[in-house]
A and B are shown apart, each in its own frame.
Chain A
Amino acid sequence: DIVMTQSPDVLSVSLGERATINCKASQSILYSSNNNYYLAWYQQKPGQPPKLLFYWAFTRESGVPDRFTGSGSGTDFTLTISSLQAEDVAVYYCQQYYIAPYTFGQGTKLEVK
């Protein structure tokens, strides 16, 4: 199985500051035929189902604010929030959907410092 490892487990950031969450895949999740990374990012707030933020690693889902950016290459990916807002407090997950089982990272809890 592909192991997805996120860092850090907990991130404390001041409002208005940049937040960076990392996700590393244990093997390539790039499908060479279409040059797409099979990676998604989700945001989950307490008591709610996860919400899709990015798919194909970099494609922002409709309605997601542009302060959120997905980046990376190879087996290393990053979710960046350029200026943290109070409503961004949540747990963030990456997920690979290249090879079943489509594993999630362990999650990163983002809180306000």
Chain B
Amino acid sequence: EVQLLESGGDLVQPGGSLRLSCAASGFTFSSYAMTWVRQAPGKGLEWVGFIRGKGFGGTTDYVASVKGRFTISRDDSKNIAYLQMDDLKTEDTGMYFCTRGRGGADHWGRGTLVIVSS
């Protein structure tokens, strides 16, 4: 059974940093792209970025609003994807989901909550 479990969400001050983790199981992790999607309270879904699988160079893409502040990485030996978030802003507040794949995400974690507030 495919499982994705996010962790690392917390209350952080503006300008601070957090690292989110997504622990994966039940599939060949290294073969899949992994994507982060966020959702501000009461709002819609926003695609944050993704990292390609090893076979596609493990390269990344990001939405413009997080470029230069967020970094997605992966450790295929541990089956974990990471979202490093720096210089956090209040508008980064929300639930962060990791998903399997690039598009048409067939598996989602339950999310981890990030609150950016002073």
**A39–B118 Cα gap in the complex (Å)?**
39
Residues of A within 8 A of B49 (CB): 101
Residues of B within 8 A of A1 (CB): 64
Say yes or no: B45 contacts A38, CB within 8 Å: no
A8–chain B nearest beta-carbon distance, Å: 14
**A50–B105 Cα gap in the complex (Å)?**
9
Say yes or no: B44 contacts A106, CB within 8 Å: yes
Residues of B within 8 A of A104 (CB): 44-47
B33–chain A nearest beta-carbon distance, Å: 10
A68–chain B nearest beta-carbon distance, Å: 15
The reply to whether the CB of A40 lies closer than 8 angstroms to some CB of chain B is yes
Say yes or no: B104 contacts A56, CB within 8 Å: yes
| Binary B-proximity of A40-60 (CB < 8 A = 1, otherwise 0) | 101010001111101110000
Say yes or no: A55 contacts B104, CB within 8 Å: yes
Residues of A within 8 A of B82 (CB): none
A40-B103, A40-B104, A40-B105 given; A102·B47 CB < 8 A: yes
Say yes or no: A97 contacts B104, CB within 8 Å: yes
The reply to whether the CB of B97 lies closer than 8 angstroms to some CB of chain A is yes
A49-B108, A93-B44 given; A101·B61 CB < 8 A: yes
Of residues 76 to 118 in B, which have CB atoms within 8 Å of A's CB atoms? 97, 102-106, 108-111
Say yes or no: A97 contacts B106, CB within 8 Å: no
The reply to whether the CB of A103 lies closer than 8 angstroms to some CB of chain B is yes
Say yes or no: B108 contacts A102, CB within 8 Å: no
Say yes or no: A50 contacts B104, CB within 8 Å: no
Chain A residues near B (Cβ < 8 Å): 1, 38, 40, 42, 44, 48-52, 54-56, 61, 91, 93, 95-98, 100-107
Would you give 20 A-B contacts (Cβ < 8 Å), ordered by A?
Answer: A42-B45, A44-B45, A48-B110, A49-B109, A50-B37, A50-B105, A55-B103, A56-B104, A91-B44, A95-B45, A97-B103, A97-B104, A100-B61, A101-B49, A101-B61, A101-B63, A102-B35, A102-B103, A104-B44, A107-B45
Q: Which 10 A-B pairs have the closest CB atoms?
A: A97-B103, A55-B104, A49-B108, A100-B61, A40-B104, A101-B63, A107-B44, A104-B45, A102-B47, A52-B106
